[in-house]
Amino acid sequence: MTALIFDCDGVLADTERYGHLPAFNATFAQFGLPVQWTEEEYGRKLKIGGGKERMASLFDDPGFAAAAGPGDRTEKLLTWHKAKTAAFKQLVAEGKIPPRPGIKRVILSAIEAGWTVAVASTSAEESVRAVLENAVGSAAAEIPVFAGDVVPAKKPDPAIYRLTVEQLSLDPAQTLVVEDSRNGLLSATRAGLNCLVTVNGYTRDEDFTEAVLVVSELGDEDRPPIEVLANRGRARPGAYLTLDDLRACLGGPA
């Protein structure tokens, strides 16, 4: 059976710039922490997989560690991250993080065609489910989500995709991953899966050599034609990607 596995952040929605970054900064302010990430600084933090891990990197600065005060560091990170997740979910609920173009169309078409659709992300499961429901509505209930700390290592480690394939009994040769970053691409390909990349503002200039197809977005009928940045497979995209284009990516690089 054909399967599509979507990353969440940057794929289902442009969550990094409009969701996670403001949620992190709101959390820092809430707890009186002496940091506010700019868009440029956050772009560098995105090289670190996982929200708690990004927060933990702040402790590399002795000044921040001193300002954070005494107490168990792990407990502090859990408390901060819980508050950050709540702030992120509020932004989703307020409609401030719209789905990326083509996501709803492609997911609903794939489900209607009998494909298996799943989401695999190393973000907090609550956040991922909120974004997914906002993107596809009631169909989200039938889409399995693998997220958060269900694996011991974050992307680019392949653990999250290996777990998804194993739990859903997928055929790797019939499974396509949709990612937006090099870390995600490496996670997918190291798990033996072909990968389509939809870039965003933070990831457009990353190296996607291993991807079968690299596009600006999945596209929709009422939008300008997509931009094909690299095509190493058999797909021949038009103005937007179709299930036939995605199916053509399953053969891997030509």
Report the catalytic residues: 7, 9
Rounded Cα gap, residues 216 and 65, in angstroms: 39
Rounded Cα gap, residues 189 and 205, in angstroms: 19
Rounded Cα gap, residues 30 and 228, in angstroms: 42
Distance between alpha carbon 4 and the CA centroid of its chain, in Å? 14
The answer to whether 215 touches 237, Cβ cutoff 8 Å, is yes
The answer to whether 34 touches 63, Cβ cutoff 8 Å, is yes
Rounded Cα gap, residues 212 and 176, in angstroms: 10
Helices and strands (DSSP H and E) totals, the chain = 11, 7
Coil, helix or strand for 29? helix
Structure tokens at 196: 């389509």
Distance between alpha carbon 81 and the CA centroid of its chain, in Å? 17
Structure tokens at 24: 């992190």
